[in-house]
Structure 1
Amino acid sequence: MLKVQGKVDKLSALSRQYADFSAKKYKKDSKHQ
């Protein structure tokens, strides 16, 4: 149970970082247009 929770936490942290990265990249790209 705890192992799964740890995996979920890691996954959500990764997806949060990815969303952050995508948002920054999108903002950068939209500035060019």
Structure 2
Amino acid sequence: MSVGNCVSCIFACLWSWILITVWNALSLAFDLSREMM
């Protein structure tokens, strides 16, 4: 397994984790703002 392949795999894992975290935060904020209305 080459180093470049490993790095791209790590970036893919990080990117998907960041997207999931942002999506959860956005949906949570949306629920909170809807309750505030």
TM over 0.5: yes
Please identify the structure whose Cα radius of gyration is greater: 2
* TM-score, normalisation: structure 2: 0.79
| Aligned structure 1 segments of 4 or more residues deviating by more than 6 angstroms | none
Unaligned runs of 5+ in 2: none
Unaligned runs of 5+ in 1: none
Q: CA RMSD in A?
A: 0.7
* TM-score, normalisation: structure 1: 0.86
Q: Identity of aligned pairs, percent? A: 3
Count how many residue pairs are aligned between Structure 1 and Structure 2.
33
